């Protein structure tokens, strides 16, 4: 239950990658960069979209798509039509940038050291005690920390990215690469999405998995509440091959969501074998993060073992009261699997609350079963910790908890919870689109620390550019400020490693996540004494403080608390092990 899943989108709407997610293809997603107001026009008897409004922080920080990028687009068009060389004066562009006077955290976890870094074009060319040369543009790092740009291995920040390519949520916390296509939901076909993003780049780099739920939806259509036939599995394999050829990192699943929840393990295994054959990986929002956690963990281990590919557990958590305190047991099981030769890893975000749908807490899909509803509120998410993030039948409930709404309705929380689901489903029935989302508190803070500290866990956000959950703006700076500086649960070097080189290893991205000659110049300069997240569930879009400068492919994208407007992000496609650039 990490996120409102993309597969719930593909469940209802044929995804059009060229429309991007935010606008017309998915106007119901309130947490996108645009908050879109919908109302019913009685005469027409159908919904239409009015008055898109940017949320305040995004509006303040966004730059028009048509200012700087358009200039470049026009230049490109001119170039293409006239085939004239563009004269670039050598004096205009310094050949190299020297970032001096920094505490270097190279991403590998080795102790930080004073150093300087020289960048030429999009690459790091030298690291060490370097003296300025004539062709250097010198940046004084002021003694602050310089690390590889952070890699978010489980991100939904692609939602609205084409409209807000400056990606404030990401660059303000030092993230330079996002990995999307998570929880079983991906853009389809990826080749088309990648081409679009290359024509209209963002400030950050992007890589994607191919989603099982997206494939399953394409093959099974509405008739998905069953296991797939061998012919259907073959068809999914064929589609997956296409996505892998387009550069997908591997296969992602979201087995707690429709339509993947109805798949047999053998179906997932067959697709994972297809991913393995292409040198890809497996990443999974596992089948249960609460009452059936242990069988779900066995399933992901089995897929890693039998399909012989690296398997990563998405946003690993123990999301049930009676599981609290059992992080040690979970990690021991994963260590045992690793000792048996299975490459199993995880990513974790640093919050005790998740964001998903109200219905995700019902694996049997028995939303009218009072016992199941009571179990959900007792064990999975207490009513005072279950915050409505979106509720189309009555938007005045947004920001209130189920406990508060029960008081308003003068009834008990279980009755309220069941009624809210029924009301949302009535709207979903009418519109064919998700109508609700919730933030639920269901983790123990000590478990979260223990899971993050596991040597094979890296940091992720599971966030969005304009989501209701603060993780979209604060995950990485929260680790640096609260887990490293305040709690001292991790060393700074180890935390940075979990955001950079380890993250890159876990998703199969090479030559990033490390500061060394030859690597791509994705860099973040930050103040370890000051860095902290500020976003909260009440104000989820408050940018972090303490990140001073961010470079992507050698180009500065964030400075002085603002995106620079530069959009040097690249699409990162999976490469064969022996391929070099």
Minimal distance in Å, beta carbon 239 to Zn ion? 22
Minimal distance in Å, beta carbon 285 to Zn ion? 4
7 binds Zn ion (CB under 5 A): no
CA 158 distance to own-chain centroid: 8
2 binds Zn ion (CB under 5 A): yes
Q: Closer CB to Zn ion, residue 295 or residue 328?
A: 295
Site for Zn ion in 28-57 (CB under 5 A): none
93-to-88, 121, 173, 201, 324 alpha-carbon distances in Å: 8, 10, 28, 22, 56
Q: Closer CB to Zn ion, residue 211 or residue 481?
A: 211
Q: How far apart are CA 433 and CA 413, in angstroms?
A: 25
Minimal distance in Å, beta carbon 235 to Zn ion? 25
Q: Closer CB to Zn ion, residue 186 or residue 416?
A: 186
Minimal distance in Å, beta carbon 462 to Zn ion? 6
Q: How far apart are CA 168 and CA 259, in angstroms?
A: 33
Q: Closer CB to Zn ion, residue 201 or residue 211?
A: 211
Minimal distance in Å, beta carbon 537 to Zn ion? 18
Minimal distance in Å, beta carbon 175 to Zn ion? 18
Contacts of 123-129 with CB under 8 Å at 24 or more apart are 123/518, 123/519, 123/520, 123/521, 123/554, 124/515, 124/516, 124/517, 124/518, 124/519, 124/520, 124/521, 125/96, 125/517, 125/518, 126/517, 127/515, 127/516, 127/517
289, 448 Cβ separation under 8 angstroms: no
Site for Zn ion in 277-306 (CB under 5 A): 285
Site string for Zn ion, 233-272 (x = CB under 5 A): ----------------------------------------
Task: Specify the stretch interacting with Zn ion by CB under 5 A; choose among 1-9, 25-33, 42-50, 207-215.
Answer: 1-9
Out of 136, 166, 183, 290, the residue judged to bind Zn ion by CB under 5 A: 183
Site for Zn ion in 199-228 (CB under 5 A): none
Minimal distance in Å, beta carbon 438 to Zn ion? 14
179 binds Zn ion (CB under 5 A): no
Minimal distance in Å, beta carbon 444 to Zn ion? 19
Q: Closer CB to Zn ion, residue 168 or residue 255?
A: 255
Q: How far apart are CA 107 and CA 308, in angstroms?
A: 28
What backbone torsions phi and psi does residue 257 show, to the nearest 5 degrees? -120, 160
Q: Closer CB to Zn ion, residue 286 or residue 525?
A: 286
Q: Closer CB to Zn ion, residue 2 or residue 528?
A: 2
Site string for Zn ion, 128-167 (x = CB under 5 A): ----------------------------------------
Minimal distance in Å, beta carbon 535 to Zn ion? 19
3-class DSSP assignment, residue 524: strand
Among 196, 189, 192, 245, CA closest to 215: 189
Minimal distance in Å, beta carbon 32 to Zn ion? 17
Q: Closer CB to Zn ion, residue 251 or residue 547?
A: 251
463 binds Zn ion (CB under 5 A): no
63, 563 Cβ separation under 8 angstroms: yes
Q: How far apart are CA 312 and CA 457, in angstroms?
A: 9
459, 475 Cβ separation under 8 angstroms: yes
213, 5 Cβ separation under 8 angstroms: yes
339-to-266, 277, 293, 296, 516 alpha-carbon distances in Å: 24, 23, 21, 19, 31
6-to-3, 155, 259, 272 alpha-carbon distances in Å: 9, 11, 11, 20
Q: Closer CB to Zn ion, residue 285 or residue 541?
A: 285
First to last CA, the chain: 38
Minimal distance in Å, beta carbon 112 to Zn ion? 33
Q: Closer CB to Zn ion, residue 61 or residue 471?
A: 471
Among 382, 311, 275, 391, CA closest to 4: 391
3 binds Zn ion (CB under 5 A): yes
3-class DSSP assignment, residue 61: helix
Size of the site for Zn ion (CB under 5 A): 4
> Binding residues for Zn ion, per CB under 5 A?
2-3, 183, 285
């Amino acid at each position: 239950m990490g996120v409102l899943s993309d597969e719930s989108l593909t469940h209802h709407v044929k995804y059009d990658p060229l429309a991007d997610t935010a606008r017309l293809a998915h106007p119901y997603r309130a947490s996108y960069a645009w908050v879109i107001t919908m109302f019913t026009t009685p005469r027409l008897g159908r919904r239409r979209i009015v008055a898109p409004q940017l949320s305040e922080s995004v509006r303040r920080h966004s730059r028009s798509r048509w200012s700087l990028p358009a200039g470049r687009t026009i230049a490109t068009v001119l170039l293409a039509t006239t085939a004239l060389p563009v004269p670039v004066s050598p004096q205009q562009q310094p050949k190299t940038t020297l970032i001096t006077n920094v505490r270097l955290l190279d991403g590998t976890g080795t102790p930080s050291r004073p150093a300087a870094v020289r960048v030429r074009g999009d690459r790091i060319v030298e690291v060490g005690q370097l003296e300025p040369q004539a062709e250097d543009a010198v940046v004084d790092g002021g003694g602050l920390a310089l690390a590889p740009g952070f890699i978010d291995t489980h991100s939904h920040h692609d939602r609205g990215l084409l409209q807000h390519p400056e990606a404030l949520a990401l660059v303000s916390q030092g993230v330079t690469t996002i990995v999307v296509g998570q929880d079983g939901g991906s853009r389809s076909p990826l080749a088309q999405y990648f081409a679009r993003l290359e024509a209209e780049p963002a400030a950050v780099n992007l890589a994607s998995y191919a989603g099982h739920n997206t494939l399953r939806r394409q093959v099974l259509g509405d008739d998905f509440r069953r296991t797939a036939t061998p012919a259907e599995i073959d068809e999914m394999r064929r589609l997956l091959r296409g996505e892998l050829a387009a550069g997908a990192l591997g296969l992602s699943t979201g087995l707690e969501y429709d339509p993947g929840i109805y798949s047999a393990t053998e179906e997932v295994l067959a697709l994972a074998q297809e991913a393995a054959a292409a040198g890809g990986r497996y990443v999974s929002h596992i089948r249960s993060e609460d009452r059936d956690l242990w069988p779900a963990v066995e399933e992901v281990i089995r897929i890693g073992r039998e399909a012989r590919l690296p398997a990563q557990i998405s946003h690993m958590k123990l999301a049930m009261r009676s599981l609290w305190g059992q992080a040690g047991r979970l990690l021991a099981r994963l260590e045992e699997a690793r000792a048996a030769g299975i490459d199993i890893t995880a990513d974790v975000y640093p919050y005790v609350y998740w964001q998903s749908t109200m219905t995700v807490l019902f694996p049997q899909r028995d939303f009218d079963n009072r016992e199941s509803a009571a179990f959900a509120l007792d064990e999975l998410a207490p009513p005072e910790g279950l915050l409505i993030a979106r509720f189309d039948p009555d938007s005045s409930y947004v920001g209130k908890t189920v406990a508060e709404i029960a008081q308003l309705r003068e009834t008990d929380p279980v009755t309220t919870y069941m009624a809210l689901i029924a009301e949302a489903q009535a709207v979903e029935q009418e519109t064919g689109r998700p109508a609700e989302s919730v933030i639920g508190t269901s983790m123990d803070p000590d478990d979260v620390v223990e899971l993050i500290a596991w040597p094979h866990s890296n940091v992720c956000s599971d966030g969005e550019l304009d989501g209701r959950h603060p993780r979209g703006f604060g995950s990485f700076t929260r680790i640096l400020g609260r887990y490293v500086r305040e709690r001292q649960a991790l060393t700074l070097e180890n935390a940075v490693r979990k955001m950079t080189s380890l993250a890159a290893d876990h998703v199969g991205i090479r030559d990033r996540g490390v500061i060394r000659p030859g690597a791509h110049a994705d860099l973040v300069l930050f103040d370890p004494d000051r860095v902290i997240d500020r976003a909260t569930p009440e104000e989820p879009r408050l940018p972090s403080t303490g990140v001073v400068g961010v470079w992507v492919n050698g180009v500065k994208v964030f400075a002085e608390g603002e995106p620079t407007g530069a959009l040097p992000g690249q699409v990162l496609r999976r490469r064969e092990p022996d391929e070099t650039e």
